[in-house]
């Protein structure tokens, strides 16, 4: 059966609120640097009021990946929950404007739409404070099996594993994808997320075809002291592991096959928000268009390089044009 979509992304539907800040601001407001911290609605309101010169962009990890996929010319579907409020309507309109299908039913009551308050320090690190709101309410009823089955790859955001109903939604989506022999990809999302669910994530790997992780997430998953130990842990795993290493590029492994891909140089790292999301976009575009693993890795690092050169987690330049100039398409 021919796939209608290249990728169906399942994740938290979040509006990103991004602002520059220095380390003193982080200390003053008790913000953990360089990681994602879950917060409640009251804390979100406090930080939002304190943030300087904030920019609002519809986001969330898997949704950002779908945006990158669309920028490359791919066909994407996003599944995630918002409320029918100002932020929710903005989120839906944003995806539609870039050519990503979004048809998940909006909640009419309950928590407000989710937001992620992102402080970007001069060294390019992002400190994320996330109010999950309505995004946590996604459940099995929001998964339509025929839509999931219509995608060549189901891409799942690890952050969703924190909510029991979302976990049930993931399992339903995976079954729908596997039923028609599609591929299932999973991103570990965050070292703290891995620490909370390490054993379950290891078990989940038996159902996965593709694993995305940065170096710290992978080390947390395998309780490894160094990157070489991570590679040893993956040696006998039958799937594809795409591991990002910041300025050292990425390593792609599969059944003993190892590809080391250099990072694409950028003149200045402005904001690392979304680097992993865009790497996944490039990699999945390559994978769903018949490229070999090394080529997929090169598309991934190209997309990551574009997004870290400016504020925000989505591409500002056409990734398709950049990939064309780099002779990757």
Q: What is the pLDDT of residue 313?
A: 84
Is there a contact between 79 and 8 (Cβ–Cβ < 8 Å)? yes
Given pLDDT bands bounded at 50, 70 and 90, which one contains residue 34?
confident
Q: Give the number of other CB atoms < 10 A from CB of residue 42.
A: 9
What does pTM read for this prediction? Answer: 0.90
Q: What are 74's two structure tokens?
A: 């791919």
Three-state DSSP class for residue 17? strand
CA dihedral (156, 68, 314, 99) positive or negative: negative
Asked if the model's pLDDT at residue 55 lies above 90, the reply is no
| Average pLDDT of the chain to the nearest whole number | 94
The model's confidence at residue 299, banded by pLDDT at 50, 70 and 90, is very high
For the chain, the straight-line distance linking the first and the last C-alpha, in angstroms and rounded, comes to 25
Mean pLDDT of 176-192: 96
Cβ neighbours, 10 Å, residue 158? 25
Residue 222 CA: distances (Å) to CA of 21, 191, 194, 230, 304: 33, 11, 10, 7, 25
Tell me what the mean pLDDT of segment 6-27 comes to.
Answer: 93
The CATH homologous superfamily to which domain 60-106+135-325 belongs is Ribokinase (3.40.1190.20)
Secondary structure (DSSP) of 292-305: -HHHHHHHHHHHHH
220-270: per-residue pLDDT in tens? Answer: 999 999 999 999 999 999 999 999 999 999 999 998 899 999 999 999 888
- Domain extent listing, the chain: 60-106+135-325
Q: What is the structure's pLDDT at 41? A: 87
What is the tens place of the pLDDT at every residue in 76-114? 999 999 999 888 998 898 899 999 999 899 999 999 899
% pLDDT > 70, the chain: 100
Residue 212 has φ and ψ, to the nearest 5°, of -110, 135
Q: Is the pLDDT of residue 122 over 70?
A: yes
- Lowest-confidence segment of 52-56, 151-155, 175-179 by average pLDDT: 52-56
């Amino acid at each position: 059966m021919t796939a209608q979509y290249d990728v169906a992304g399942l994740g938290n539907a979040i509006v990103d609120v991004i602002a520059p800040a220095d380390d003193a601001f982080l200390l003053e407001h008790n913000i953990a640097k360089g990681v994602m911290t879950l917060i409640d609605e009251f804390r979100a309101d406090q930080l939002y009021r304190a943030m300087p010169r904030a920019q609002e962009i519809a986001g969330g990890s898997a949704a950002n990946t779908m945006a990158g996929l669309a920028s490359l010319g791919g066909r994407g579907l996003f599944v995630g929950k918002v409320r029918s409020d100002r932020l929710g309507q903005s989120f839906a309109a944003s995806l539609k404007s870039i050519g990503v299908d979004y048809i998940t039913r909006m909640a009419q009551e309950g928590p407000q739409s989710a937001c992620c308050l992102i402080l970007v320090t001069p060294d390019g690190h992002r400190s994320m404070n996330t109010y999950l709101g309505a995004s946590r309410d996604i459940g099995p009823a929001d998964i339509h099996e025929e839509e999931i089955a219509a995608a060549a790859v189901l891409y799942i955001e690890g952050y969703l594993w924190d909510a029991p109903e979302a976990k049930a939604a993931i399992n339903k989506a995976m079954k729908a994808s596997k039923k028609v022999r599609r591929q299932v990809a999973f991103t570990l999302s965050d070292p703290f997320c891995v620490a909370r669910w390490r054993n379950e994530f290891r078990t989940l790997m038996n159902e996965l075809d593709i694993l995305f992780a940065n170096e710290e997430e992978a080390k947390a998953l395998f309780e490894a002291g160094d990157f070489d130990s991570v590679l040893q842990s993956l040696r006998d795993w039958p799937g594809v592991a795409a591991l990002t290493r910041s300025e050292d590029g990425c390593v792609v492994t599969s059944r003993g096959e190892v590809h080391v891909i250099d990072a694409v140089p950028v003149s200045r790292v402005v904001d690392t928000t979304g680097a992993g999301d865009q790497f996944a976009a490039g990699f999945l575009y390559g994978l769903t268009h018949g490229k070999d693993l090394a080529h997929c890795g090169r598309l991934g690092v190209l997309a990551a390089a574009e997004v870290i050169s400016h504020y925000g987690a989505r591409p500002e330049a056409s990734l398709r044009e950049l990939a064309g100039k780099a002779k990757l398409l």
